[in-house]
Chains A and B, each alone.
Chain A
């Protein structure tokens, strides 16, 4: 994983959105952290969920803030973010297109759907478009196996998707 935050001229999220920073600060202030370092770590994943919910992703300055407030090593914070697929340190597009590649979707042709999205959007798996409109990812089983193959765009679920429906799904994002 490359570090994008030091090399580009991306604005610092904490400075750009002071109200979001305040929201995260307030969330952490309410936690009963205590003095035991091991047990303080137990709050880390919850804080990161909250932070990603507020900011959309977890750039370096947000990671640092969480680490500082929980009095944890920066490596502990980054170690958790890089381990769990739910967390991302890259900006995410407005429309997050998730193609389910669970087993039921796989046997019903999810690979073809993914290929179609890749070619129509010109993106590889895990990439976002330059204008941050789309992010294309494959996810593991959303549990809607009866509707396989399934595509989720943000919270909207499309079931029994065929390659022919792909342009329509992209158009619905306009």
Chain B
């Protein structure tokens, strides 16, 4: 059936609402994104379906939904009463708990962690959901579910009552900035492409989520794919592009499957394709796969990848908005940026500006991972402090360890230490702290993490992912890595620190694209925040965190050693001597610092020094 005008859309939505009112009152929502499934959501889903059909209860319906962000308690099941809005979420659900949970018994998740946008904030919840508003609420494989949540209404409004320039203006006024990391004002980008007179323009969605530790774009595509399609039609109309391309990571098969299905459904209703809503506007979409190259997150590299070439960035200007794919005006926006668009259209630019900070309105989705108690995907207003995120939502550090730093912005960002935890974060404040927003990965580190080692990890990452086109990035990255390796193996000198700084400056200023320009950030930020740690590696030949194997020595405490011989048997080089029930000793000259004894000892008699 084709939907030809907004009235038909409203009628269809109303009809679906009537049907929904007669349908099941209790929804059982099983979170089934990639990580939910990895944690075992599929048998849980089957168990609930079986239990509901066994009870023969027509009031209950089991739905497979996208990610709710409660990664720490996957698999999760939400029991939602559609009439009263009452919802209870259960975590760490096992298939055999289905019956008990339907009776209300199980491990419940606090409301302060999660609530969807259309419900009242319980007051103490720090989250605010715009981008993830439907994720975890709707069956992502059902377009009807999306209609029921006001889906495609924003598109109807745009295509039938707004001029393209009005749409661009609205996005400009809203202050929305690119959520892919750079934070470039979206409206401004659109207006450049809109001003081009070319008949052929392209709109590209960058879904090549490459930052390690960031998975918000995947959550949107898996949990609410229609929102992305709707936003792309709106953006295409605004800039005058009739071709849309979603460039997605090949590592996201479930996201691709759901996007493909959503596109088929939207085409069937005529919501993408020719003459949408009889407005005379044509827009079609297709999916292109990435093939595992981090640098393709950079827009000119991404465009070259779509053109079937090696994904090497080219010099700007000309900017893609003027000459991009096939040398035609091209706009590249990130998934999360697009996911904000339908809400801005429906509720207005003024509403959007009430959320977040003056310079960065709206919300940001973060994935908090690492050594934090509650790992998860959260959406908070811009301007929330890191302390609230890590110690509020994240509930502090695992195993009672001490917080050391949080890494934001992936391999292009930096580490933020304890003293800056109370800064309200947005694009500008993070930059001032020597880090950046990036795509929103947040990796929390504790006292057991060595900052020199972390810097080395990121430099190795950018070194491996450098496309090799420009010398500063290709050679400079390798040199920085070599110096950091020297320091972590205990051969560093204080001059090496100056050399790293010089190199970092050169790589930052002379590299061609964003990858090279930001590659030294993790080193510079850790050197600025933790200078004493670098000095300890160089001057004292010690790794305070006990991570760098060459710089630690394992010592047996004679008071605690019971002479069980376990460590001696585990040692791969036979450097531990001692008889049964006698104190054991490690020969430091032979020890290869592998830590096998440390892990084997059952009496905590072995310590790292």
Contacts and interface: CB of A to CB of B under 8 A. Distances in A.
B291 A143 contact: no
A142 interface: yes
Contact of A84 (B34, B209, B252, B311): B311
A108 interface: yes
Contacts of B290: 84, 86
Contacts of B445: 107
B270 interface: no
Interface stretch (B114-122, B368-376, B490-498): B368-376
A145 interface: yes
A133 B213 CA distance: 30
Interface stretch (B15-23, B55-63, B300-308, B476-484): B300-308
Interface string A98-140: 0000111011100000000000000000000000000000011
A157 interface: yes
Given A49-B250, A86-B292, A143-B35, A103 B311 contact: no
Interface string A80-95: 1001111100000000
Interface string B176-218: 0000000000000000000000000000000001111111001
A145 B308 contact: no
Contacts of A150: 38
B225 interface: no
A159 interface: yes
Interface stretch (A8-16, A21-29, A36-44): A36-44
B72 A146 contact: yes
B407 interface: yes
B251 A142 contact: yes
Contact of B212 (A42, A44, A46, A104): A104
Nearest to A43: B308
Contacts of A41: 307-309
A107 B371 contact: yes
B449 A103 contact: no
A107 B370 contact: yes
Nearest to A39: B326
B410 interface: yes
A165 interface: no
A64 B445 CA distance: 48
A139 B461 CA distance: 11
Contacts of A140: 210, 212, 292, 294, 461
B35 A146 contact: yes
Contacts of B39: 146-147, 159
A118 B209 CA distance: 28
Find the residue from A140, A141, A157 having the highest chain B CB count within 10 A: A141
B294 A38 contact: no
A173 interface: no
B307 A38 contact: yes
A110 B292 CA distance: 20
A143 B292 CA distance: 14
B74 interface: yes
Given A42-B307, A80-B309, A146-B72, A141 B291 contact: no
Find the residue from B35, B72, B458 having the highest chain A CB count within 10 A: B35
19 contacts: A38-B326, A39-B326, A41-B308, A45-B291, A76-B309, A84-B291, A84-B311, A85-B291, A87-B291, A103-B212, A104-B212, A106-B212, A107-B454, A143-B215, A143-B218, A144-B215, A146-B39, A150-B38, A157-B38
Given A79-B309, A142-B251, A143-B215, 5 more contacts: A80-B291, A103-B458, A140-B292, A143-B252, A148-B375
What are the nearest 6 A-B pairs in CB distance? A146-B71, A102-B212, A84-B291, A41-B308, A143-B215, A44-B308
